[in-house]
Each structure stands twice: as C-alpha cells, then as structure tokens.
C-alpha cells in the first residue's frame, strides 16, 4: 500500500457482511475500499450447506454463496485490498487505520471482521493443528474418508459438521459438555438419524494425543468424573467463535468482546459502524449479517452527509 491512502469509507472484512456493506456503500457512491484477509468469504465459506438463506430452496454450499456475494461486490466496482486491520486511532475528524499493508486515513469504518474459531485450549491442540486437529469440516473432512473422528461442541456448527462428516467417515463421535444439544431442532433430528454418529454426552476433551498425527483423545465425563481415552484420527473443534475485535477495542464499547451498536449499527465511536458476527446481536446468521450490513452502509452514508455540512 505504501504511503497513506485516503478514503471516505473502509469496510473491514471480506465475508458476507463486509461484501454486502461495500456493495450498498458503492450504490451510495462512497469512495471506499474493502480490506480483507488472505482467505475471503469469512465463516460462510466454511459452512457445508446453507439451507436457511432465502432464495435457495435446495440449499447452497457456503463456499459458493460466499463466492457469489464476493463476485457481486466486485461487479459493482468494490475495490478489494488484502491486509489485516491492526489498530485504529482518531485524528481530527478522521480515523487512522493501521493495517498489515500500510496506513489508511478514512472518515468512516464499517467493521465486519467476523469471528474466528474458539479453541479448546487443551494439550496437543496447537501442536497437532493441521495434523488431525481442524476447525473446519468442509475444508478438511475429505482427509478422513472411512476413518474415525471426534467433533467437539453442541451448537449448529458442531452438529452440521458431524452430519457432514458422517457421510464421509466411518465413525463420528460428537463430544458435548452437556446432555442436550444447543443446535436447532431440525439439525438435531438429522444428526440423531445418522447411525455413524455416536453422542458422547456430559463430556469434554481434555487432551489430544499424537506425535505426527492425532491418534486419540482423552475425554472427561463431568457427571461420572470418569476419564477415558478414545482412538480417533481427527478432531474437529466447533465450540463457537471469538470476535476479531482486539484492534478496535480501545475506541468502541464492547460487550463480551463483541461490538455494541444501536439499531443504526452505530458503535459508540463516531463514524465507526459494525455488521455481522462481530456485533453484539441475539442471532448470528447470514440473513442477519446481510441486514446489518445494509443498515450500516446506509448509516455510514448518512454520517458522511452530516459531517460534510458540518
């Protein structure tokens, strides 16, 4: 990027929320760039099958939906810049955004940087990442054809991944810390119908074992206090997500690390808006991310009008 770039708006994040916000902002004729990390598409790109996004009655793969949204933003002329947001500070009426590729001076920001997978934080997890430990079944599931894997978690992601893996693997253990799933009813019904999924209730993974590759997990049953070792070839961790808010935490109000906004998607800082999974919201879905993003772009446009007249 070299010397400081100047823009009216920077959208941070190339997932569905970021692309939608940029697309709308382009329609309001704003001078903007979209800053995105190396792998665009956000979490949507890692979902195996999206069945609840309107307009796709037969479902659509997350990867394809993310690609289509990205393409749609590119078609309206959104300028994509590769890089990661590192910090942001106020400078007069502007924001100075430091990125891995250089500095950007901007009037407004839409933060749609999403969230990244939460880690189990158990021995073996980091060392065996990429050697049997994965955070994305859609990306890595195929490596486990006819093998045995464990999925940690009980939410939509874990259950969705377990169903997907059950079609590839010989055996899938779903290890959940309680005795009922958090996932939506229709996903639960489908998971219970899969013979190759075995539910390991009231249990947590306490260690992932292996030297060059995963060979087993240690599991602790919280009710019986029993510890056991289960041979597996892979572990898919799906226990929720942490928002990517560290770089912006000094300037906006957060709630449990997520950005607090009003219904206009305004954060507590003037000119900074948030959309999608990074926002404090009761529902994190593609549908809600798209709604957030459209409102955020509209609010950013109104903000620019206001500051232009002083």
Q: Which of 136, 160, 233, 292 is catalytic?
A: 136
- 211, exposed or middle or buried, with CB in 10 Å at 0-12, 13-18, 19+? exposed
CB of 103 to ligand NAP, least distance (A): 33
Per-residue DSSP letter, 50: B
Nearer to ligand NAP, 21 or 183 (CB): 183
Site string for ligand NAP, 78-97 (x = CB under 6 A): --------------------
Nearer to ligand NAP, 126 or 306 (CB): 126
Judged by CB under 6 A, the number of residues near ligand NAP is 21
Helices (H), the chain: 16-27, 62-75, 137-140, 156-166, 185-193, 286-309
User: Per CB under 6 A, does 291 bind ligand NAP?
Assistant: no
Dihedral through CA 65, CA 69, CA 74, CA 78, nearest 10? -150
| 83: its two tokens | 């890089």
Closest CA to 84 of 61, 44, 111, 50: 111
Nearer to ligand NAP, 150 or 300 (CB): 150
SS3 label, residue 123? coil
Site string for ligand NAP, 161-200 (x = CB under 6 A): ----------------xx---x------------------
d(C-alpha 255, C-alpha 252), whole Å: 10
Residue with structure tokens 């910090």? 87
Q: Does the active-site annotation cover 136?
A: yes
Q: Does the active-site annotation cover 19?
A: no
Site string for ligand NAP, 213-242 (x = CB under 6 A): -------------------------xxxx-
Q: Does the active-site annotation cover 169?
A: no
Beta-sheet pairing, 254-255 with 258-259? antiparallel
Q: Which of 31, 94, 139, 280 is catalytic?
A: 139
Closest CA to 286 of 114, 84, 109: 114
CB of 308 to ligand NAP, least distance (A): 37
Site string for ligand NAP, 115-134 (x = CB under 6 A): ---x----------------
| Residues known to be catalytic | 136, 139-140
Applying CB under 6 A, the residues found at the interface with ligand NAP are: 47, 52, 118, 152-158, 160, 177-178, 182, 204, 238-241, 284-285
């Amino acid at each position: 990027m070299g010397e400081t770039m100047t823009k009216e708006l920077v959208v941070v994040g190339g997932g569905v929320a970021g692309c939608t916000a940029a697309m709308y902002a382009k329609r309001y004729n704003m001078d903007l760039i979209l800053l995105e990390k190396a792998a665009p598409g956000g979490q949507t790109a890692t979902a195996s099958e999206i069945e609840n996004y309107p307009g796709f009655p037969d479902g659509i793969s997350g990867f394809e939906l993310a690609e289509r949204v990205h393409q749609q933003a590119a078609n309206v002329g959104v300028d994509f810049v590769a890089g990661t947001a590192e910090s942001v500070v106020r400078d007069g009426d502007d924001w100075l955004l430091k990125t891995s590729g250089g500095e950007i001076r901007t009037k407004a920001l839409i933060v749609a940087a999403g969230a990244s997978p939460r880690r189990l934080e158990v021995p073996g997890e980091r060392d065996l990442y990429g050697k049997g430990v994965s955070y994305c079944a859609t990306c890595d599931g195929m490596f486990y054809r006819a093998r045995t894997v464990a999925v940690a978690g009980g939410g939509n992601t874990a259950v969705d991944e377990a169903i997907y893996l059950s079609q590839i693997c010989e055996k899938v253990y779903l290890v959940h810390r309680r005795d009922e799933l958090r996932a939506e009813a229709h996903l639960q019904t489908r998971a219970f119908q899969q013979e190759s999924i075995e539910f390991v209730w009231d249990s947590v993974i306490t260690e992932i074992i292996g030297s060059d590759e995963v060979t087993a997990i240690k599991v602790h049953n919280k009710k019986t206090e029993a510890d056991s070792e289960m041979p597996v070839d892979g572990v898919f961790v799906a226990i929720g997500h942490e928002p990517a808010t560290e770089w912006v935490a000094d300037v906006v109000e957060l709630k449990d690390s997520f950005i607090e906004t009003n219904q206009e998607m305004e954060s507590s800082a003037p000119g900074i808006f948030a959309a999608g999974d990074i926002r404090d919201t009761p529902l994190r879905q593609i549908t809600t991310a798209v709604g957030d993003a459209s409102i955020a772009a509209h609010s950013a446009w109104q903000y620019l009008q206001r500051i232009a007249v002083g």
